[in-house]
């Protein structure tokens, strides 16, 4: 008789990537958890329809015409750190809505902020990363890190297609303005 146990149908556990940052980074961009394509390619925002690298290309010269290593180098040189809120979680597929909340393990932001004390703004790539940060990370952060300002940006995911690219680019251009003002 076949087993009907839910244990045999557990969602696969996804693991995030190490952060990308220079010690003098001034702005942290947070996603939720890399999707299937990103995990397969071991690259942040590897899904070609995701607008992240297109936007980073227009704002910082870190577009898909460069190698992945060159894109990351451009972001680091611009003062940008890149990471995800979630270190690991069960999630079938790539959608944030499919993350199994009880399985979420957050990244160690206390250690990150200790090592990157110049971070003056945390920007979330979409609503899910903002929600997870506020629920799982913020309560455990000590001052002054708990008071670092945050800003939710529109998701660059193709699942957030209701907002046209031009509007996403306009919203994301605020990070370029912030970095110019902090230089």
Tell me the catalytic residues. Answer: 50
- Calpha distance 165→26 (Å, rounded): 25
Structure tokens at 165: 């690219």
Beta carbons of 126 and 153 less than 8 angstroms apart: yes
Q: Is the peptide bond before 144 cis (omega within 30 degrees of 0)?
A: yes
Distance of CA 117 to the CA centre of its chain: 19
Q: Measured in whole angstroms, how far is the alpha carbon of residue 103 from the centre of its chain?
A: 18
């Amino acid at each position: 008789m076949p087993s009907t146990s839910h244990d045999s149908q557990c969602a696969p556990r996804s693991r995030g990537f190490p952060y990308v940052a220079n010690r003098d980074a001034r702005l942290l961009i947070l996603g939720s958890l890399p999707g299937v394509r990103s995990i397969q390619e071991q690259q942040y925002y590897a899904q070609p329809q995701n607008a992240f690298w297109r936007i980073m290309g227009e704002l910082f010269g870190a577009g898909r015409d460069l190698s992945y290593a060159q894109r990351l180098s451009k972001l680091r040189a611009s003062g940008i750190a890149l990471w995800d809120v979630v270190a690991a979680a069960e999630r079938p597929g790539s959608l944030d809505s499919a993350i199994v909340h009880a399985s979420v393990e957050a990244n160690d932001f206390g250690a990150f902020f200790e090592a990157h004390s110049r971070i003056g703004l945390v920007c979330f790539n979409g609503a899910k990363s903002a929600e997870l940060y506020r629920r799982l990370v913020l309560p455990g952060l000590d001052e002054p890190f708990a008071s670092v300002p945050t800003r939710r940006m529109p998701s660059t995911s193709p699942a957030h297609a209701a907002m046209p690219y031009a509007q996403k680019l306009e919203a994301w251009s605020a990070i370029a303005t912030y970095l110019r003002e902090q230089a």
